[in-house]
Amino acid sequence: MTLDPIRQTSLSDQVLERLRTEIVEGRWALGERIPPEPELMASLGVARGTLREALRALQYSGMLDIRRGDGTFVAARSEVPGALARSGATIADVLEARAAIEPQLARLAAERATAEDIDRIADALSHRATVQIDYWAAADAAVHEAIARAANNPILFEVYTALLPRLQESVQSAIDRTGFCRDDPRGHEEVLEAIKGRDPEAAGRSAAANLAATERWDTDERAGALTDPPAA
């Protein structure tokens, strides 16, 4: 068997891989602003054009968010969110993906959540209850992230957090639709109570009921025949 020859990668590709490694390994946290261009150029020993080419590639992949005049921020620890954003997924697609993951995360959280995890979920719910509507979808995503973190399964957490931007986007697009409900306890307060009570089955049922209600609402609202209001 013959092997293909090793090809030397471009300098921008090397810079991309170096930056990607920093993000994946968590040196820069999600939402954190990475060092400014002059600092990165000095650290990596590359020109501005080479650095910017790598940054643009990571922005396209969904890992970085370049905000003109404000800096560059970590948007994700993998390319999955970018791929999901380009997938053209509908709300129904997002709900199917959530239904495959969220009930199990809730069950595991009821079994494994620490006191710190429970406080984090409670704080996220309290914050969601006070924010203005423009920020509600982001606050709701933070609740779901806190529940996912409480499951204490790093693989499931990484998979789920890759879905969170699409979850937030789907919720944001639904807020102004007829019948959208922001105070349904299913999947939120009920899950927290089940987690506190160490009741995995109740937690899973509540998460599943939340998603089932949302799916029915999405279908009925589009058909002009509303029934149950949705929970996010």
pLDDT of the residue at 88: 65
CA–CA distance, 138 with 142 (Å, rounded to integer): 6
Q: What angle do CA 19, 23, 27 make, to 5 degrees?
A: 105
This prediction's pTM: 0.67
CA–CA distance, 152 with 171 (Å, rounded to integer): 25
Place of tokens 């595991």: 108
pLDDT of the residue at 6: 47
pLDDT by residue (tens digit) across 43-78? 999 999 999 999 999 998 888 999 988 999 988 877
More confident residue, 99 or 184: 99
Are 143 and 192 a contacting pair, CB within 8 Å? no
pLDDT of the residue at 116: 97
Q: How confident is the model at residue 86 (pLDDT cuts 50, 70, 90)?
A: low
How many residues are present in the chain? 232
Q: How far is CA 70 from CA 32, 34, 164, in A?
A: 12, 11, 23
Query: 218-226: long-range contacts at Cβ-Cβ below 8 A with a sequence spacing of 24 or more?
Result: 218/91, 218/92, 218/95, 218/174, 219/92, 221/177, 221/178, 221/179, 226/178, 226/179
CA–CA distance, 136 with 215 (Å, rounded to integer): 20
pLDDT by residue (tens digit) across 100-158? 999 999 999 999 999 999 999 999 999 999 988 888 888 898 999 999 999 999 889 88
Query: If you average pLDDT over residues 205-212, what whole number do you get?
Result: 92
Q: Spell out the SS3 assignment of the chain.
A: CCCCCCCCCCHHHHHHHHHHHHHHCCCCCCCCECCCHHHHHHHHCCCHHHHHHHHHHHHHHCCEEEECCCEEEECCCCCHHHHHHCCCCCHHHHHHHHHHHHHHHHHHHHHHCCHHHHHHHHHHHHHHCCCCHHHHHHHHHHHHHHHHHHCCCHHHHHHHHHHHHHHHHHHHHHCCCCCCCCCCCCCCHHHHHHHHCCCHHHHHHHHHHHHHHHHHHHHHHHHCCCCCCCCC
Q: How confident is the model at residue 221 (pLDDT cuts 50, 70, 90)?
A: low
pLDDT of the residue at 5: 56
Q: How confident is the model at residue 184 (pLDDT cuts 50, 70, 90)?
A: low
